Amino acid sequence: MIGEPNPDWASSPWETIADVLRLRGIDEAEFEDMVGEHAGFAAALRRGDRYIDQALAEALSENLGASVSFWLKRESDFRKSGAKSSAADFDDPFVWLKELPLKDMVAAGWMRKHTSRLDTLGEALSFFGLRDFSDWTAKYHGVMNSVAFRKSSSFTENTLSTLAWLRQGERAAAEMACDRWNSDALEDALWDIRPLMRQSSPSHFLPRLRNICAEAGVAVVVARAPQGCRASGAARILSDERAVIQLSFRYLSDDHFWFTFFHEAGHLVLHGENHLFLENSSGMMETEEAQANAFSERFLIPEEFADELLQVKPFQRDVIRFAYKAGTSPGIVVGQMQHRKLMAENRLNFLKRRYDWNELSHDPNVVPASTVSP
């Protein structure tokens, strides 16, 4: 069993876990079985998408050693360290530059690669629409705080990575043809969008989704998030003329994608002007988030089927039959039943449609994928 060293709290708790696994010759699949988790859990923990909660801390303590409190403190201190680092203002432009996900930004075609730091700095400033570094605080301080300190954020994301993703969304949206922004038109259009949920391929439904939203003045941008950005989606009003819904396809499944889309649309319809709404997978529930969740669920499972959903048995045939009746997809029904605790999270996941970035990258209107894994 391991003792309780005083590790570098700025590093991920996964690094401590990985060190123990290497020493013992345990692979990730064995580790997942050891702590009672599903395939892919280790990768999620490594990326920072999963957290060490009480149950996992107990499993780690039992199987790898150290106390439960050690693992919980390891997680807590790491998150706090990340929050302080990512939320800080920058005085040195080259420190700022170092914090950007430059490799992914270049790989995605968001900016060109340069050999000199000075040229790279100039390219990065141009990407953010800045004349020089002195403009950074004036233009982005408010946005940075809204990203870093929003209650829905658990401080897991690198704030500059998130800002880079948001900025690319603005740039892509500016290139799209849209009618004038109209909240009522968007709400009406969502019922025309709903049948697209049953289409299996993004290459089929994304063009139609964009066209319908553009008629309401909303640019729909799909951009893969760079390393450090945990966002699933974002919504904001760019001007009186245009709004944007930005989606990262983070989980590459139909239930998550469509929930996120309608959730972001809900923010635009319900909460409107002069706000940035950024979603990730964790954190505290705010009133606006609860309202956007309910708005999304109303389109995924219409209200007239809400009571019937409670009676659906967690079996393949029953789910498919209900999905057809409710005009939605089986994967969305599974996701909603899991969310509402009507079905275990490990049941019927094969009914969820899985998307592929290789397919998405062939769409000329999808911002090129970065080098990181989803």
Nearest residue to 88 (alpha-carbon basis) of 129, 19, 136 = 136
CA distance 162 to 290: 23
pLDDT digits (tens, 9 = 90+) for 292-338: 999 999 999 999 999 999 999 999 999 999 999 999 999 999 999 99
Q: Phi/psi of residue 220, each to 5°?
A: -100, 115
Tokens for 371?
Answer: 């080098």
Could you tell me the residue ranges of all domains in the chain?
A: 13-82, 148-367
Residue 152, pLDDT score: 38
- Could you tell me the fold of the domain covering 13-82? 434 Repressor (Amino-terminal Domain) (1.10.260)
CA distance 172 to 367: 8
Tell me the longest C-alpha to C-alpha distance in the chain: 63
Mean residue pLDDT across the chain = 83
Rounded (10°) CA dihedral 71, 75, 77, 80: -170
Beta bridge partners of 373: none
Pairing status of strand 218-223 against strand 233-237: unpaired
Burial of 284 (0-12, 13-18, 19+ CB in 10 A): exposed
Residue 148, pLDDT score: 47
Helical (H) or strand (E) element with 323: helix 316-326
> How far lies 230's CA from each of 2, 17, 150, 236, in Å?
31, 22, 14, 17
The tens-digit pLDDT sequence of the chain (374 residues) is 444 444 444 567 888 888 888 888 888 889 988 888 888 888 878 766 677 888 888 899 888 888 888 888 888 777 665 544 444 456 788 989 998 999 999 999 999 999 888 899 999 999 999 988 888 877 876 676 555 444 334 434 578 898 999 999 999 999 999 999 999 999 999 999 999 999 999 989 999 999 999 999 999 999 999 988 888 999 998 888 899 999 999 889 999 999 999 999 999 999 876 567 777 644 434 678 889 999 999 999 999 999 999 999 999 999 999 999 999 999 999 999 999 999 999 999 999 999 988 777 656 566 554 444 33
Nearest residue to 15 (alpha-carbon basis) of 40, 59, 54, 45 = 45
- Could you give the residue ranges of the DSSP H alpha helices within 150-253? 159-174, 183-193, 202-214
Type of residue found at 33: D
Residue 23, pLDDT score: 80
Residue 353, pLDDT score: 95
pLDDT digits (tens, 9 = 90+) for 85-127: 444 456 788 989 998 999 999 999 999 999 888 899 999 999 9
> How far lies 183's CA from each of 173, 178, 188, in Å?
17, 14, 9
